[in-house]
Amino acid sequence: MKTFKLLFVLSLIAITTMFAKCRKDIYPPDYQYYFKQPADITPYQLDYNKGDTIWVHVHIPGKYIYDTLSKQKIFYDSARIAANINVQLVYNNPFIVNGAKLANFVYSPGISANETTNENFTSSSISFGCSQATDYDLSVGVIFTEAGVFAISLNGSVQKCTNNPYVFYPLLYYFNVTDTHADYYRQLPFDDISQQADFNIIKALDAKSAICVNVQ
């Protein structure tokens, strides 16, 4: 009986160890890199009209991406880079969320993208980099199709083109602008529409990972 219990305990330890190893192989315990990359946006202003187009441009020359952990640029070849552009309706009077598509997107060649619309969001999940030989480059046009005040945000990740899909590294985009119009967002009369300023949006505006624009 004691031998059976001992074998059972050893088997349980072996299974637990194997499971932990498998999870370690799939999910990295700590990020080796935490990348950061600027994004340009043109033309950039506060006020736009329906039908106007703004262009989001990401350019990574020589495939060197800045790593915030080592505080230096890292050469990272054969990368699949994700760029998720989110257009969020944050204010309109009356504030009506009807699931309408808030923007259309125009892509540069060689880009893979998936577009979704959900309540007050229209998003494009973009993948680029694997087919690019010397530099990583992305240009996306955002065409406004509805009126209102919008927050446009950008987030993403980096992984190898032929690697375990569970192994990736965060990529923090920030817009290369002097003013994200955070003060404009803060002073919007949210009480008039029974809403309130979103702390997460304010945080993103302050970090320049989002901008605020008014579309008429």
With bands split at pLDDT 50, 70 and 90, how would you rate the model's confidence at 131? confident
Q: How far apart are the first and last CA of the chain?
A: 80
Q: What is the DSSP letter of 178?
A: S
pTM higher than the cut 0.85: no
Q: Quick check: 123 pLDDT over 90? A: yes
| In contact, 197 and 208? CB cutoff 8 Å | no
With bands split at pLDDT 50, 70 and 90, how would you rate the model's confidence at 31? confident
173-192 per-position pLDDT tens digit: 999 999 999 999 999 999 99
Burial 105-135 (b: 16+ CB within 10 A, else e): beeeeebebeeeeeebbbbbebbbbeebeee
